[in-house]
Structure formats: C-alpha cells, structure tokens
Structure 1
Amino acid sequence: MQRFGTLSFGHYGPLGGGRELTAGDSLHQAIDLAQGMDDLGVDGVYFRVHHFARQQASPMPLLAAIAARTERIEVGTGVIDMRYENPLYLAEEAAAVDLISDGRLALGVSRGSPESVVRGFEAFGYTGSQDPRGADIAREHFSTFLRAIEGEGMAERDPNSPFGDGTGRQRIEPYSPGLRSRIWWGAGNSESAEWAGRMGVNLMSSTLLTEDKGLPFDELQAQQIDAFREAWREAGHPGEPRTSVSRSIFPITTDEEDMYFGGRQDGDGVGYIDGMRSTFGKTYAAAPDVLVEQLLEDAAIQTADTLMLTIPSQLGVAFNLRMVESFAKYVAPALGWVGTRV
C-alpha cells in the first residue's frame, strides 16, 4: 500500500435529537477535513457522487475549493456517474480542477452506482439507452470525454468568426497536459476491469462487486485487479497503472469510537443489488494491532497501491480527523505506507 485516503458519501440531513446537517454544512466540513488531512500527510480525499440523494452530487466546485485550500493532497471522485454527464463540459471542468490543483486530480468515473430513482439520467436529458441500466450511454460519454481531454478537435472553427484562432477542428479549453493519466474507471466486475485495462485508465474497485464466484470478497477483488493489469499489459500501454480499493476500516482507540463501531465488524455478504447477484466487502473495526493482522490478510489491499477509507462524515471534522490520524499512525505503516508528516 503506497497511498491511502478517505472516501466520503457526503451524507447530510437529520442527525437525530433535533439536529440537522445541511448541504452547506456537509460541503464546508468536507473542505475543512481535507485541509486537516493535507496537514497530516494523508495522500488523497475522494467523494462518491449520487444524484437525487442527500449526498455529494456536483463534485467539481467542491474539488476546486479543496484544491485551492490544500498543497499536496490528491483530490478526486469515486465515482462520477457518466450516464448523467455532458462529456465535453466534464472535460472542461476536469481540466480546470487539474490546473488549479497543479495536477492533483484523480477523477474516478463509471456507469455509476444503483440509483434511488428510475432511470434518473433520462431526467438529465440523456435518453435512448438500449440497456436497462444505461451502461451504453456511460461508455459512449466516457469515450467522448477521453477524446476531449486528450486534446482531439471536437468542433469545427467558424472561419467567419472574429473570435478564436487557428483553423480546422478545435479542442476543448482549458487543456491540462497529463490529465489523461489521472483518469480512473470504477469497475464492478472482472469484465469491466479488463475493459478499463484495455482503455488504458487506472482502476478503482469498490466494496461491492456485481459478481459471485464463491470466493471471499478480497480474493475476488484481487482477481479483478490481476485481470485489469493483464489487460493493460496486453494492450501495450506503457508504465504501471494505479489501482485502488475501498474499505470500511475503523481503528478503535477511545470509548467514543468503541460506542460507535465496537461490535460492527462483520463478514462478507452476498445478495442482490440493482438486479445483479453481488458480493459485499466486510467492515473492519478493532484495536489497531488487530486491524494490522486482519488487513495483512486482505488479498486485495495487499495488491492494490491505494486504499480508500470510507468515513462517517456525519460525525464531523474533529472525529474523522482523529480516526484518520489513528490509521496513519498505528495501522498504515505496517501495511507499507510511508508517511511524511504524521
């Protein structure tokens, strides 16, 4: 494990006892938390994207704000639902954030998670999908997005226009060199992972895989990563791609943490989600020394270079910073992480 960061859903709404976390609270706390993690030397801060839900939905303004308030931490998504995206507008936004951050964007995209509404992407104007889950729209949008950030001309210049310069087809602006190497695809199964390898993008693998082969979750996920890397090599892409996995991991060092997460550790699960038989990853919650032993046995964590910790953002900045700092001090070094500031 070379890097670790946090993955947040950005939940907001009623907290109980008459308290409520507003959308504004959630956004401001995300910025404050990212600043604190930057000071700790944590490697990345990433956000889930869900539409029609009280969660983060439009990540680019948030990522830009974090990039402007931090120095070194990677800012990213895990993942943006490409069914909902105008690929050229996303290309402009992604390039802008990458430039603001001086190349610290890690943009995770995919078909997206199961929705809380029926074919919500159609409400955004993206119709005509022949797939019940819109996977064809997602991949079509993704292909156009990649061409745009690579600098391909996307529209013919009007020779009669007094604006712009040059001739022929014009690329999207701004253009950020190197952004293409910082794009990730969120894969839910081996086929999708292999496709990402052939496309030459990095791999994000979640705590949910839409397949069941009778294997423990971590072994199934490690196989997915191996298939991705093999597809990358066979396609002839240069260098080594990055791979990430996400986990719910809670070091318990205080009575408060024990109150929230003690007894929460569970095993893998198998069930149906979005109409597909799926395998769910376990939750790890224990004293740091116990966590080290358990995580060293997690095959996917051992093969991926980046670990994303799903965090309970509703519990506030101070609580989450303590959790992250405990992981950085007592757990991450034993997994191979070399921190620079903690």
Structure 2
Amino acid sequence: MSFGHWGPGQGSRTRTAGEALLQGIELAVAAEELGVDGAYFRVHHFARQQASPFPLLSAIAARTSRIEIGTGVIDMRYENPLYMAEEAAAADLISGGRLQLGISRGSPEPARQGASAFGYLPEPGETDADMARRHTALFRKAVSGAGVAEADPRYAGGATGLLPVQPQSPGLAERIWWGAGSRKTAVWAAEQGMNLMSSTLLTEDTGVPFHELQAEQIRLFRDAWAAAGHRREPRISVSRSVLPIVDAEDSRYFAGSALRDSRDQVGIIDGLTARFGKSYVGEPDQLAEALAADSAVQAADTLLLTVPNQLGVEFNAKLLGNVARHIAPALGWAPPAPDRP
C-alpha cells in the first residue's frame, strides 16, 4: 500500500505529483510480476499525496491483468456519492472486476473543514462521521444498481420511475471495505455488510498490545457479521510496516528505526487516546517470527504492506521481493501459479 507522497526532500525519487503517479503505476506492474496480490493507495486531500484515485487505478488496470487494485481509504466526507459510483464502476470494468474499494470517515488532515471547500457540510445535528456514513449509504445504493434519479419520459425513451447511474459493474457492491478505527465502528461495518479494513492505529486504548486490541476488533467484527446473517464470507485486512534489512542499502535507510519504532505508541488523535502499532524492521527470519506471533495478522486474511514510495520503484520492488521470498511464505502465503500459455 502506497501513501503516494511526493516532495523535494533529500533522497526523494518522487519530487513531483507526476513522478508519484507514474511510479505508482510502474510499482503496481512490478508487484504483479513478483506475484504480489494487490496494489492499494491511500487518499488524502490538501496534501502532497494521492487525492483522486480512479485515474490512477484505471491506468494500473490497463497495464495489469491479475493484481487487485484498491484504496485504503477514501474519505467519504469529500465525495459526491453518485459521481464516485460512476467512476468506481468504470475503473472496475476496466480492471475486469479487480477493484477493492476501501472507504471511511477519513483521518486528520491539513485543512480545517476541508470537505466544506468541496461543497459538503454536515446537516443540522450531524457530525462529520454522520455525513460520511450518509454519503456511503447513497454510494452503496448506487453501485448496487438501485434507481437514484427520477426518469424524464421525454428523454428516457418513455421510461418512468427511478434511473440507476451508469455504468454498473456487477459484484462491485460486495468489494466495499470500511476503514474502522475502533471496535465499535468495526461492529457497525459488519452490520452494514462491508468488509473490514484496519490500519496501524486504533482510536482507543485498553492497555493491551496493539495487535491484541486489533485482534479483538476483528473477533467482534466476525461475531457481528454472523449475527447479521450475511450470506457471504467477509474479507478482513490489517496494515503493517514491514522493512526487511538484507543489504547495506536497507540498513542505511532503516537500521535507525529498528529500535525507535519497535514498540507500540500511545498518543492523542482528534482528541481521542489512540494506540499506534509498531513497525517490523530487521532481518527477514526475525520478522517472519514476529509477524507469525502477531495475533491480528493471523486473524486477518489480507496483509497490506506500507511501502516507502519516495524511495522509488526499483527499491520498493526489491523490498516487496524480499518480503515475498523470505517472510510471506512463513505466514502461509504462496505466490500465484504462473499463467499457462
């Protein structure tokens, strides 16, 4: 998963937005060649990071054939739900049904009330989270094929009733994930029938290690999913920063963080006490053992690896290759079988 940063910092290989976008495409192509299962992108506004994912995802879809493409996550406070439904369906059709769409209420941002600059304000009595969920409900209705606009028989071939947005991409409605920052929101996501996407922080702290708190979040999600009676099996992802050190270049970049980021951190975010998960930095055998003991990694079915995208395509492809060869097999992952001619 790429955060899509760009900027002129020392050592940056993504000094412009164009470089970050084009390298995102090339890294996804390289990841597919390595056998990696997905290419996901964070979405942020008013920052030097990726902000409009669908052009990027569509470009990746046109250059690849197998790898999942996705987001983690789109801030639904900012979105026009019907326009987003059209864009998401188009990207999914281009990819042949490979889009995995992570959405949420969003995270702290540089802009004060940034969504209002896009024209979106909470209704009276609503919070920002309420507005995000309202946008989400309409978006999900639209991608499911429900009618959302009254037909004008004069221009709709005599049709009456409500018209759905076009295009439609069958199956996309089941590939929506909610980025849950707490146990409570994970239960809500399960009740709504959305997959669970859990990152490297939770906006609560019970004093237990991060991976145990996240594993509890996953258990509560699964219990709520079963209680809701949904017919399909949900998917669950967790994010981790996994940085294997196998040569001098890796050591130069990451050795300093091996001790600094090797423990959970507790801080304040949006006025709430939050627990941040540790980074996994070190020799591959050590990381494989540590991740095998991570209860949330074991409870999930999808592991999203955050990559330092500003170090460029070549370095990140090497990093992903080291994870795929030396760490992922110990966690039960196997590369896909090669395509037969």
Q: Which residue of 2 aligns with 1:310?
A: 306
Is structure 2 residue 174 aligned with structure 1 residue 181?
yes
Which SS does the other structure have where 1:334 is aligned?
A: helix
For 1:219, the equivalent position in structure 2 comes to: 212
Aligned AA for 1:45?
A
Unaligned runs of 5+ in 1: 1-6
Kindly report which structure 2 residues correspond to 1:175-214, keeping only aligned pairs within 5 A, or say none.
175-214=168-207
TM-score w.r.t. length of structure 1: 0.95
Deviations 1:203-239 (A, max 9, x none): 0000010001111000000010111111111111012
Q: Deviations over 1:58-91 (max 9, x none)?
A: 0000000000100100000000000000000111
CA–CA distance in 2 between the matches of 1:280 and 1:310?
14
| Aligned partner of residue 15 in structure 1, secondary structure | coil
Which of 236, 239, 243 is 2:232 aligned to?
A: 239
Equivalent residue number for residue 291 of structure 1: 287
- Superposed, 1:236-275 pairs within 5 Å as 236-265=229-258, 266-275=262-271
% identical equivalent positions? 59
Partner residue, 1:110: 104
User: d(CA) in 2 for partners of 1:45 and 1:192?
Assistant: 25
Instruction: Determine which of 80, 88, 97 is the counterpart of 1:86.
Output: 80
Instruction: Give the corresponding residue for 2:59.
Output: 65
Deviations 1:84-130 (A, max 9, x none): 00000111011111111011000000000111111100110001356
Q: Which runs of at least 4 in structure 1 moved beyond 2 Å after TM superposition?
A: 15-20, 128-133, 163-167
5+ residue gaps, structure 2, are none
Give the partner amino acid of 2:171. Answer: G
More strand by share: 1
Task: Pick from 5, 19, 36 the counterpart of residue 30 of structure 2.
Answer: 36
* Residues 1:326 and 2:326 aligned together: no
For residue 45 of structure 1, the aligned residue among 10, 30, 39 is 39
CA distance in 2, matches of 1:65, 1:164: 34
Which residue identity does 1:146 align to in structure 2? R
Q: Which of 112, 124, 135 is the matching residue for 2:129? A: 135
Q: Structure 1 residues 316 and 165 mapped into 2: Cα distance closer, same or farther (>3 Å)? A: farther
SS of the aligned residue for 2:221 comes to: helix
Match for residue 229 of structure 1?
222
Structure 1 residue 240, shift from structure 2 partner: 1.1
Residues 171-209 of structure 1, C-alpha deviations (whole Å, 9 max, x = no match): 110011100111100000011100000000100000010
Q: CA deviation at 1:19?
A: 7.6
| TM-score of the two chains, using structure 2 as the length reference | 0.95
Counterpart Cα distance in 1 of 2:11 and 2:103: 37
Higher relative contact order (CA 8 A, sep 6+): 1
Q: How many pairs were matched up?
A: 335
